Chains A and B, each alone.
Chain A
């Protein structure tokens, strides 16, 4: 298993060294300048919201622990995004691209491929409202006909393609399956206060099995949406649909089934849990009230001084050396089993982190390193619990193989119970927290699994094997399992025979029966006090 891990790490483009996070390695820093529509003021809330959404975007793409801060004050504020390592173009685009979202009424729908233009109706006149077919001028229809939505080039949405809010827009759906002519903007994305996905609840409050996306609009959005829905609900298909346009592409075009007076709309359809969540996230991104221009994009060194980090790691290694000394002092030869197990656990963790940093984009940060340091204690504890149990069994006078199997069956329960708790903590924090806390939870969970694997697949088998060697079974002074040193009791095994701590043979006939004096001496030595005196 470990061989496979190492091999896997080796094949992974030679990334034997795990990638490091921003605080340890440095990365790329982008300074983004917010731009509002018109002369709006940038409020604190806008910036905070922008940072939250930005973090959500970056976290969703799997990049761990980007650092996002605001810079400057008043109206001269920027957002600084620092991404670890050399981020891919897709990741950078996530940050650079500012999502712009609009709700527009649908005027015409067509197949995605290019075709011949229709003739515009005569006497168009001035459009009375945003849904009026009078918007379909010959110009618009020509553009509509020539647009090819099967061409991937037309499907890479950017904020610049959103078009003039007061004019109709010809565009594709995001998946490239449909072509639209859309009327002028009815509702602006910034009027959306929140969107989330969930199971549909009926009017009686019962949960159904259907996934829906719920929208909540602010005051001005509510008015605008009420007017639009009043207008749309009586129109014929496809003009009773409204399109949600994100970065110039239609992400969804639901039909208006009823008038929405209270600003709380629900989009239903054949959603899965996944697709509903995706749409909700896209809607939230689009609700960002600002757009950004990239002011600078530069490399940045690690936020923690590299010299200092090296010193810190050196100090940690000194501590580890002390652990080695202590376990040999406490457990003698058994200490080597501890050290071997710890070394294998460290190797496995290292390989796993390397593997995950390659496949999942995981990056090791300072909190991650801290998780690993504590993991030394927790991993070693599994061995300590186990060894102490074996010693207790020896004290009861069992032979070593019996003590190992009995001690193991008891220690196993304890180890499983306590590791479950740890793993639970890691799991919950990983799924519910963001940023640095997530990185920490990840290492904690990882080391817990490695700990279990090592204890079950290495430490216990090794100890069971060692128990059969003479050095351990006869309780050599340096084996760490010397029954007399542990204070094992002399045990009466019937027929006038005793099994003393000095002869933990498997109950077989000793070569020479001890004399009474020897037995009494053994009994006295075994209990280590005067209790064995004549009663």
Chain B
């Protein structure tokens, strides 16, 4: 049964029988995410983001005195002039007293505007179409205030994390992971080439919260495993942190699957199969962001935290002590099966009964061993 296999896998990760050396191979992960970040940044620079009509303003057509308020013909009409355009149609006025349709698109050239007006008029049986430019609804002040709120949040969250974990390095590592997630999410979104609407921006903000949240959950286990770090001489900080990662691996997978399912439902089923364009931008931002957030809390946040804490004098000294003790064990010939010192990092488990065969026993038959003198 798959579930049993998964829970047994979880058990092995918990006790350390199975362990993925994530912290130990951190340079590898740094390189990998460095490459992803560079790609994202390049996408961002060269492809750039396309702000939607809410940020830039655009063109607006008013089709007055329409007989039907069906919206699809308007969308089709605009698409005949400019395909891939995100068209917004709303009905102005009440149905009883000759309503008009308001069609909003991104800024069209004057040629396109004339063509679109013609197409729209044709689509609604020669109705009167007027066109004009409209300004952005998401003004600079909205952006400024959101950015200010964000900065205050980042400062506060660093303070809270520093107090809770009693260690500023954890806060720094969480922020590194956060920046990592933001660059990847925005870059990949730019790569897909969809326009950035206010909903997308909200999606990015959500990812910000999710990234920190996920990191805090993993860090809490790291903190717990390292609570008595300096009182023992068996494991290094890096090893205990890696154990925390392995122990929370099942949680991370389950959580991200549960968070991703509704989002991918909207993205894949909604946007691609049912053709619902309205929610697709926010769904895409969330989809990329949740994956990046889960990835970074495992492969970036904790390794960075370990790298940072290894510079802390107390931790560095402790690591040296542990490694020296191991080297001494090697010299003393206290080797494991494969010729190295065996270090199995896992949850402490009580000893178990190994069966009667493990007990000292008296040889049967023949003379007893007798007592020496």
Residues of A within 8 A of B (CB): 26, 29, 47-48, 51-52, 55, 67-73, 80, 298-305, 307-309, 311-312, 314-320, 322-323, 326-327, 329-330, 332, 366-367, 369-371, 373-374, 376-378, 380-381, 384-385, 388, 391-392, 395-397, 410, 413-414, 417-418, 420-422, 424-426, 428-429, 431-437, 440, 444, 485-492, 496, 498, 516, 519-520, 523, 526-529, 532, 534-535
- Inter-chain CB contacts under 8 Å: number: 330
CB nearest neighbor in A for B220: A414
Query: Is there contact, CB below 8 Å, between A424 and B141?
Result: no
A116 to B182, CA, bound (A): 72
Query: Is there contact, CB below 8 Å, between B254 and A384?
Result: yes
Query: Is there contact, CB below 8 Å, between B93 and A299?
Result: yes
Query: Is there contact, CB below 8 Å, between B247 and A519?
Result: no
- Checking A29, A424, A435, A534 against B357 with a beta-carbon cut-off of 8 angstroms, the contacting residue is A534
CB nearest neighbor in A for B9: A487
List residues of chain A with CB within 8 A of the CB of B133: 71-73
**Which of A326, A397, A487, A498 has its CB near the most chain B CB atoms (within 10 A)?**
A487
CB distance from B115 to the nearest CB of A (A): 20
A22 to B46, CA, bound (A): 35
A contact patch SS = helix
Q: Is B132 an interface residue (CB 8 A)?
A: yes
CB distance from B43 to the nearest CB of A (A): 23
Query: Is there contact, CB below 8 Å, between A377 and B255?
Result: yes
Q: Which of B27-35, B120-128, B208-216, B317-325 contacts A (4 or more CB under 8 A)?
A: B208-216
CB nearest neighbor in A for B358: A535
Q: Is B157 an interface residue (CB 8 A)?
A: yes
- Checking A317, A384, A435, A490 against B255 with a beta-carbon cut-off of 8 angstroms, the contacting residue is A384
List residues of chain A with CB within 8 A of the CB of B21: none
List residues of chain B with CB within 8 A of the CB of A305: 71, 88-89, 278
Query: Is there contact, CB below 8 Å, between B261 and A532?
Result: no
Contact size range, B: 35 or more
CB distance from A229 to the nearest CB of B (A): 32
Query: Is there contact, CB below 8 Å, between A523 and B355?
Result: yes
A72 to B161, CA, bound (A): 49
A440 to B264, CA, bound (A): 20
List residues of chain A with CB within 8 A of the CB of B261: 319-320, 322-323, 326
B262-298 vs A, CB cutoff 8 Å, 1 = contact: the mask equals 1111100111011111110010001000100000000
Query: Is there contact, CB below 8 Å, between A316 and B282?
Result: no
CB distance from B285 to the nearest CB of A (A): 9
List residues of chain B with CB within 8 A of the CB of A308: 275-279
Query: Is there contact, CB below 8 Å, between B254 and A316?
Result: no
- Checking B69, B254, B350 against A492 with a beta-carbon cut-off of 8 angstroms, the contacting residue is B350
- Checking A55, A72, A534 against B141 with a beta-carbon cut-off of 8 angstroms, the contacting residue is A55
Q: Is B351 an interface residue (CB 8 A)?
A: yes
Q: Knowing that A319-B265, A374-B259, A377-B258 are A-B contacts, what are 18 other residue pairs whose CB atoms are under 8 Å apart, sorted by A's residue number?
A: A69-B136, A71-B60, A80-B134, A305-B278, A308-B278, A316-B262, A330-B6, A332-B3, A366-B199, A370-B286, A373-B286, A377-B262, A377-B290, A414-B216, A422-B209, A485-B3, A523-B352, A532-B354
With A320-B262, A418-B217, A425-B153 already in contact, the answer to whether A370 and B206 are too (CB < 8 A) is yes
- Checking A52, A80, A376, A520 against B258 with a beta-carbon cut-off of 8 angstroms, the contacting residue is A376
Query: Is there contact, CB below 8 Å, between A72 and B262?
Result: no
Q: Which of B11-19, B299-307, B329-337 contacts A (4 or more CB under 8 A)?
A: B11-19
**Nearest 10 interchain pairs by C-beta:** A319-B265, A377-B259, A487-B11, A315-B270, A70-B135, A432-B149, A319-B262, A311-B276, A301-B91, A312-B279
